[in-house]
Structure formats: C-alpha cells, structure tokens
C-alpha cells in the first residue's frame, strides 16, 4: 500500500492507496502531523511507501517522522515524471501542478487535457496529446478574492462564497458575491473556450476544494474530480518506486 501526503496552503491531506484504489483520506495540520501519521499506520500497517508533496512550508522533522514507518519519497523538480515537461522554468513548477499533470497524463493518454484546480489559487495545467506538459496559468481563488476585497478596502466586509441569484447585485454584499463568483465562473469558461480554440477534443477536469461549488456555475462541459491530485501523487509514487 501507498501513502501520499499533500501539504497544501491551508491543510495537510493524507491518502492511502492499494494499487489505484483509494482506501482512505484524512485531513490534518502541521502541528498534529505525528498524531495523524500514527493514526494512518495504526489503521493501515501494510503501507510500505510514502510520497510527500508540499506547496507550503513543511517542517523537516515531518519527513523524519514518516521515515520511521516506511520508505519516504519527497516530490521535487528532480523527481522522475512520466510526461515530457516543456515548462520553461521546471525548478519553479509546484509539486501540486506536477501531480495534476501526471494524473492528466494517465487519465487521458494520447488526448488533450486541461486540469483546473480550484483551491487557494486557481491553476490551469495543460497536457497535450503528445504527452507534453505545456504550462497554463495561475489566478486567485475564491477565498483569496473575498479576502482581497476586504483587506484592501476600508468598508467592504469579509464574506464567504454564496450562490448568486442574479449577476446584477442590488446591494454591497450581492455585488461582491457577483464580482467574485460570477467573475470566477466567467474566467473559467473563458479560459476553457481559449484552450478549445487551439486543442481539438479537449477534456477538461475540474478539481480542488471549490470544484463542486464552481462546477454548477461553469457552462462548458467539464468533469469534476475531487481526488485528481491525490491520484496523481499515487501514480508518481509508483513511477518513482519502479
């Protein structure tokens, strides 16, 4: 069995795989990392290998803690990847985007795939039908946009995402919701349209913490897949073990 650890900007996710089958997921924090690892191994003592992917700072002792239980790989620009990487600055390519490109490569072999990860940031990652990672885009996510409206103005409140009844807001809060929710939905639709004008038979995968909220508001045909990044990390672990 494999354990993959996704240390994101807001939380740490743990996922256990047996082959390609996802058996277990859990969420933890940096402060409770040791306790979270122990709980996973108490439940799944058959785990033999683990992969850590960190887009935010992860304490060095986290690797040491995990190494007590199994063999540990740390995802980095030096890790082996199954696709051709044409990113101009591969050393700056985040491990989350490497994992998403890997999942796209295996999910749609010989096809064009755009992966949209709606998390703290919204990332767009493109793998073409030659198995080549081209890059994409990065923009602010839902909560980052709400926080920016509040932080960089004097009187706008801090809101959380809500569905909008009309794109024309009739009060300050509904105007803010329209600006953020409608703005992101139109952005995603516009980006998909751009990519479809260049790549035929494009498959679009929407994933990340805000994927379900946004999937209902995107007009283009997409596939919502909440565990796409975790699957990519598991595939990378298997690829680096071989």
Share of the chain above pLDDT 90, in %: 80
Helix/strand/coil for 146? helix
Q: CA-CA distance, 161 to 163, in Å (whole number)?
A: 7
Q: Annotated catalytic sites, by residue?
A: 96
Query: Is the pLDDT at 242 greater than 80, yes or no?
Result: no
With a cut of 90, say whether residue 31 has pLDDT above it: no
55 in Cβ contact with 33 (< 8 Å)? no
Numbers of helices and strands, H then E, in the chain: 8, 11
Whole-number pLDDT of residue 54? 87
Answer left, alpha or beta for residue 225, where phi above 0 means left and psi between -120 and 50 means alpha: beta
Residue 114 scores a pLDDT above 80: yes
Task: Let me know if 188 is exposed, middle or buried by CB neighbors in 10 A (0-12, 13-18, 19+).
Answer: buried
User: Do 121 and 74 form a contact (C-beta atoms < 8 A)?
Assistant: no
Q: Burial code of 220-242, b = ≥16 C-beta within 10 A, e = fewer?
A: eebebbeebbbbbbbbbbbeeee
Instruction: Write down the mean pLDDT value for the chain.
Output: 93
Report the alpha-carbon distance of residue 115 to residue 102 in Å, rounded. 11
pLDDT score at 39: 93
Non-local (6+) Cβ contacts of 157 within 8 A are 150, 172, 173, 176
Q: Is the pLDDT of residue 196 over 90?
A: yes
């Amino acid at each position: 069995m494999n354990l993959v650890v996704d240390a994101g900007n807001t939380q740490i996710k743990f996922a256990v795989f047996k082959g390609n089958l996802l058996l277990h997921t859990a969420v933890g924090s940096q402060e409770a990392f040791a306790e979270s690892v122990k709980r996973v191994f108490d439940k799944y003592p058959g785990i033999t290998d683990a992969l850590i992917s960190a887009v935010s700072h992860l304490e060095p002792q986290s690797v040491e803690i995990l190494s007590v239980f199994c063999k540990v790989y740390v995802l980095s620009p030096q890790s082996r990847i199954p696709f051709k990487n044409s990113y101009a600055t591969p050393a700056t390519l985040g491990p989350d985007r490497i994992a998403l490109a890997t999942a796209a490569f295996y999910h749609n072999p010989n096809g064009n795939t755009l992966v949209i990860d709606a998390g703290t940031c919204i990332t767009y990652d493109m793998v073409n039908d030659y198995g080549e990672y081209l890059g994409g885009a990065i923009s602010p996510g839902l909560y980052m946009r709400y926080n920016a409206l509040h932080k960089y103005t004097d009187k706008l409140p801090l809101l959380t995402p809500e569905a909008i009844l009309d794109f024309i807001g009739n009060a300050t809060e509904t105007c803010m919701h329209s600006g953020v929710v409608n703005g992101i939905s139109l952005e995603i639709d516009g980006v998909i349209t751009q990519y479809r004008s260049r790549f035929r038979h494009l498959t679009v995968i929407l994933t990340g913490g805000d994927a379900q909220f946004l999937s209902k508001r995107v007009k283009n045909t997409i596939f919502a897949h909440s565990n796409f990044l975790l699957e990519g990390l598991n595939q990378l672990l298997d690829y680096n073990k071989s």
